[in-house]
Structure formats: C-alpha cells, structure tokens
C-alpha cells in the first residue's frame, strides 16, 4: 500500500510541536469537512487522511513509532520482539526459511521482514482498518417567550429538511443548551451520527424578573394603605391574588409567596417562589383641606 506521509498531510515538518499539530488539524479539518464539501469525493478522502494523520501525530507514543518505523509503525512492537528473539538465537535458523537480519533495518528491509513473518497479510490488514469518526454536531437556536416555557410543550423543528419533534421541559432557561443525540451529520467511515444542540433564547415580555426558578416583581401601593393597612390585588404569573398589607408598611418591604414562582427544570410539580416588593405611591394634587390635615398630623408627630 502506498505510504502516506502524515506530516505532509498536515502541511507540517517533523519538528512540529503538539500545538502546531493541533492547530494544523483544526484548520484543515474545517476546510475539508464533508459538510462544507458535499459530493466532493476528493475532499472527503483528504478529510479522512487528515483525521488519520492527527490520530497518529497527536499521540506521543504513536508519533514516536511512526517517526522510527514509517509506514509499518503499527507493527513496531512485534518488530522489537522479533529483534529480541533473533538476538537470542545467536546464529540459529532465524526467520523466513533460514535468512537472518543484522538488526540494522532500513525501510525496505523492515517491510520485507514483515512480508516473511506474516506473508504480507498483517500490514495489509492493519492498513485496511479505517478509524471511525462521529459526525459533526448541528447547532440551532429556538426563540420562545417566557410564558411559553412555564409549561412543558411539544415543538417540531425542521433541521436540514428533516422534521424533529421534541418536548421542551417547563423551566428551561435563557441561554440553556440541550443535546438531542443522533440528529446531527452522518458519521465518517460508519461512525455514529452527530448530535443536535439547541440553544434557547427566552424573551421576557412580562413585568416579572426571573432568576432561575424564582420570580420578582415590584407593585405600587398607595400611601394610605401602607400607612393604615388594607387589602390589595397583585398579579402573579398564573393570575391575580389578594394580599393584606400591614399598617405602617415601609417602602421597599418585600414579601414572599411560596410556590408562586417558575417551574423547576425537570422537577415536575415543583416551583420557585414569587418575591413582591412594595413601592409606595405618594398622593399628588393635594387639596387645600388635605394639606391642612397633613400639617396638623405633622404637628402631632413633632
């Protein structure tokens, strides 16, 4: 089989560092990836060679054997064992019908040695095996409103002409990515398919602020209710509720409504809390009588 120079495949010389190999592989793999060169058999063949070269040269042990033994590097261990056995024979029958080797092997003699040892089959079998590679992952972005992810729902996405039906769990967060196995590009040399990675962009078009499973909202309460106490109606994510405001409630007071927050991701029936902060609404356009009464109150307080 024709010898493939892995250094030339990666457009490097033998002094290349590990970082050089990694950089060259990434650059060439992107350039010749089958997804970017559909129906281009020469690009696919080059991509296969690039992967083979990287697999060998990025592994220090494999690279050492390759540098020493070239195209027969995969049989280096067997060769070393054979040399040891040959040395122990000290003039005995040797290998291959009485022929002996000095231990100073060049590439041609090394290949000839394996031809005699294995009848040419070992190298052919080793060279015939091609590594399998997982297909490229696909990436997609799905935009939803905050209210859309309050409950679990089913969505159908069209990726590369194929419809993929998936269930989106309640409580998914903005920027969160989920992986759907086996819905990416086909594998190389029979390898597994890649995956589909979906990143969610959650648009919050509500008055609520979300932090994981907790919700926060600020509500205005009129001055007289905060001063004397009373009942108010506030919005929650699922509807309105009535609350009792204690007398002399101070600005910035925060209360917690347990279980009125957002669903916890993949924890069915569990919810966060809703935190309500009171913002006092001061009266405006006071009448003359109101001003007089407030001044009387001021005198009483002083």
Q: Which among 220, 229, 219 has a CA at the least distance from the CA of 249?
A: 229
Burial of 43 (0-12, 13-18, 19+ CB in 10 A): middle
Domain 6-128 identical in fold to domain 209-301 = no
Helix (H, G, I), strand (E, B) or coil at 268: coil
Q: What is the pLDDT of residues 185-242, one digit of tens each?
A: 888 878 888 888 999 999 999 999 999 999 999 999 999 999 999 999 999 999 999 9
Residue 240, pLDDT score? 93
Alpha-carbon separation of residue 217 from 174, 222, 234, 236 (angstroms): 19, 16, 10, 9
Mean of per-residue pLDDT scores for the chain: 82
Q: Does domain 138-203 have CATH number 2.60.260.20?
A: yes
Q: What is the pLDDT of residues 156-192, one digit of tens each?
A: 888 777 888 888 999 999 999 999 888 888 888 788 8
Tell me the CATH number for domain 209-301: 2.60.260.20
Query: Is residue 10 a contact partner of residue 53, using CB atoms and an 8 Å limit?
Result: yes
Tokens of 35: 């997804």
Domain ranges across the chain: 6-128, 138-203, 209-301
CATH number assigned to the domain with residue range 6-128, chosen from the 4 options 1.10.287.110, 1.10.3470.10, 1.10.287.90, 2.160.10.10: 1.10.287.110
Q: What is the pTM of this model?
A: 0.54
């Amino acid at each position: 089989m024709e010898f493939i120079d892995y250094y030339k495949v990666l457009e490097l010389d033998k002094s290349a560092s590990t970082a050089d190999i990694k950089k060259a592989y990434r650059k060439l793999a992107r350039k010749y990836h089958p997804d970017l060169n559909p129906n281009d058999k020469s690009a696919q063949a080059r991509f296969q060679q690039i992967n083979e070269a990287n697999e060998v040269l990025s592994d220090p042990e494999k690279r050492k054997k390759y540098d020493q033994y070239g195209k027969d590097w995969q049989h280096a261990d067997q060769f070393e064992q054979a040399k040891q056995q040959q040395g122990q024979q000290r003039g005995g029958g040797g290998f291959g019908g009485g022929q002996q080797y000095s231990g100073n092997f060049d590439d041609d003699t090394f290949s000839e040695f394996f031809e005699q040892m294995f009848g040419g089959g070992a190298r052919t079998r080793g060279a015939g095996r091609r590594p399998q590679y997982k297909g490229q992952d696909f990436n997609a972005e799905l935009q939803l409103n905050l209210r859309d992810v309050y409950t679990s729902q089913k969505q159908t996405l069209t990726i590369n002409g194929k419809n993929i039906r998936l269930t989106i769990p309640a409580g998914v967060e903005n920027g969160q990515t989920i992986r759907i196995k086996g819905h990416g590009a086909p594998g190389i040399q029979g390898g597994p398919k890649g995956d589909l990675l979906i990143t969610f962009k959650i648009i919050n078009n509500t008055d609520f602020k979300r932090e994981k499973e907790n919700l926060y909202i600020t509500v205005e309460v009129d001055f007289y209710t905060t001063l004397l106490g009373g009942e108010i109606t506030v919005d929650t994510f699922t509807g309105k509720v009535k609350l009792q405001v204690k007398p002399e409630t101070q600005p910035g007071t925060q209360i917690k409504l347990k279980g009125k927050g957002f669903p916890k991701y993949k924890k069915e029936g569990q919810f966060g809390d809703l935190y309500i902060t009171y913002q006092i609404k001061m009266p405006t356009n006071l009448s003359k009588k109101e001003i007089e009464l407030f001044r009387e109150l001021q005198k009483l307080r002083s």
